[in-house]
Amino acid sequence: MSKVSYTPPKVWTFDSENGGKWASLNKPTAGATFEQQLPTGQHPFQLYSMATPNGQKATIMFEELLELGIGEAEYDAFLIDISEGGQFGSDFVAINPNSKIPALLDTSTTPATRVFESGSILLYLAEKFSALIPTEPYARTQCMNWLFWQMGSAPYLGGGFGHFYAYAPEPMEYPINRFTMEVKRQLDVLDKHLAQHEYMAGDEYSIADIAIWPWYGALVLGRAYDAAEFLSVHEYKHVIAWAQKIDERPAVKRGRRVNRTWGDESEQLKERHSAGDFE
């Protein structure tokens, strides 16, 4: 592959024609770009999201809470189509000024509590309902270690590897090699840990698993970036076993389907009222 030399300018300026799948949506500024009134439902939690890996964390968490019989965790889920720029509407930005999904409003508090960043949503719900987070201090700390590991590591998988491997205007050897090396290192970290533990925080399924599975579980199950062969994911047998086990959980199956688009008609599951809706 030919090498292309690039000399950065003295002062960077924004080029709206920089290419790539998401070029029309990416800008170096924040804030709303259009007025928007978000829909609301009848349940305590209003979730505005899409079934990306980060979005699945929130819906899987809600479905797991409902599976545990926690009726207070009922929620309404509304699709924010990030491919169409829905995350830049005024109401959405009022909940999450960073314009990223998922974004959550807890209307059971006065005033309503806004929660953004997927890890923060998982922790907020786990603490609110005393569920899916260990209570013993050592195990809780391990859970938090892996939750924060995921929040810091996944951008290398999604924004780094995924972008340059699947979405960049053209394949570039250096960034693909650089991020592939890091993703394989992360998979090896997980594989070595899961060789000794059933779940991320030990023997107990927790928000650490819910955070990590939509990214790394999807990757080793062949659902992300069409990259399973390229990354030789078969090498990470402990990650695969863990991913397959979580994939069979009823709440995970339901959570993956909320606010998901697929098929020629882009069928959308926009609202969720009870655990039975998606059976």
Share of the chain above pLDDT 90, in %: 86
Tell me what pLDDT residue 197 has.
98
The reported pLDDT for the residue numbered 10 is 96
In the predicted structure, residue 95 carries a pLDDT above the cut 80: yes
Do 74 and 121 have their domain in common? yes
pLDDT over 90 (residue 94): yes
Question: How high is the pLDDT of residue 3?
Answer: 63
63 lies in the same domain as 114: yes
Question: How many domains does the structure of the chain reveal?
Answer: 2
Instruction: pLDDT band for 17, please (50, 70, 90 cuts).
Output: low
Q: Are residues 224 and 178 in the same domain?
A: yes
Query: What is residue 263's predicted lDDT score, i.e. its pLDDT?
Result: 41
| C-alpha torsion 109→112→118→119, nearest 10 | -40
Read off the pLDDT of each residue in 121-136 and give the average, rounded to a whole number: 98
Say if 8 falls within a structural domain.
Answer: no
pLDDT above 90 (res 2): no
The whole-chain average pLDDT of the chain stands at 91
Residue 165 resides in a domain: yes
State the DSSP string of 70-133: -GGG-EEEEE--GGGTGGGBHHHHHH-TT--S-EEEETTSSSPEEEESHHHHHHHHHHHHT-SS
Same domain, 83 and 152: no
For residue 265, the model assigns a pLDDT of 30
Give me the CATH number covering residue 55: 3.40.30.10
Mean pLDDT of 86-92: 97
Domain CATH number, residue 152: 1.20.1050.10
17 within some domain:
no
Name every residue whose Cβ is closer than 8 Å to that of residue 83 and which is 6 or more positions away in sequence: 25
| pLDDT over 90 at 223, yes or no | yes
Q: Which residues contact 69 (CB under 8 A, 6 or more apart)?
A: none
139 has a pLDDT exceeding 80:
yes
Domain span including residue 120: 45-132+266-278
Residue 168 lies in a domain: yes
Q: Does residue 180 sit within a domain?
A: yes
119 and 164 housed in the same domain = no
Comparing CA positions, the residue from 101, 12, 99, 8 lying closest to residue 59 is 101
Asked whether residue 267 carries a pLDDT value surpassing 80, the answer given is no
Give the residue, 146 or 267, on which the prediction is more confident. 146
